[in-house]
Amino acid sequence: MFDRAFFEQHFLDQARGFARERKIASPVIEFLLDDGSLLYVRSLLQTRENWLCLLAHDEDGPRQIYLLYYSIKRITLRAQAPAAAKPRDVAFRLP
């Protein structure tokens, strides 16, 4: 299960390491949620005890989303955007 500590202490390091290993500027980070929907995370905006706020791209375009940590079922790091997505819409902004 994901929690605040994971996102504050490990998430960015893992994303940076993935990008460095694959020699890419920005990875594509996909969240699978418990309802089966997919979000392409562009940036993390805020973490709190039970939730996080992020900027993501979904079926409706870019938007700010608040998520409870327990609703995130899987996080996938990709070197390239899926065929149906535009890379500029789904790339994660590394600080």
Could you tell me which CATH number the domain at 4-90 has? 2.30.30
Q: Give the pLDDT of the chain (95 residues) as one tens digit per residue.
A: 899 999 999 999 999 999 999 999 999 999 999 999 888 999 999 999 999 999 998 777 789 999 999 999 999 999 998 887 766 678 898 87
**Nearest residue to 12 via CA among 57, 75, 56:** 75
Tokens coding 86? 């535009």
CA distances from 18 to 29, 31, 65 (A): 11, 16, 24
Domain-wise residue ranges, the chain: 4-90
- Any idea what the Cα angle at residue 14 is, between residues 44 and 65, rounded to 5°? 20
pLDDT for 87 equals: 64
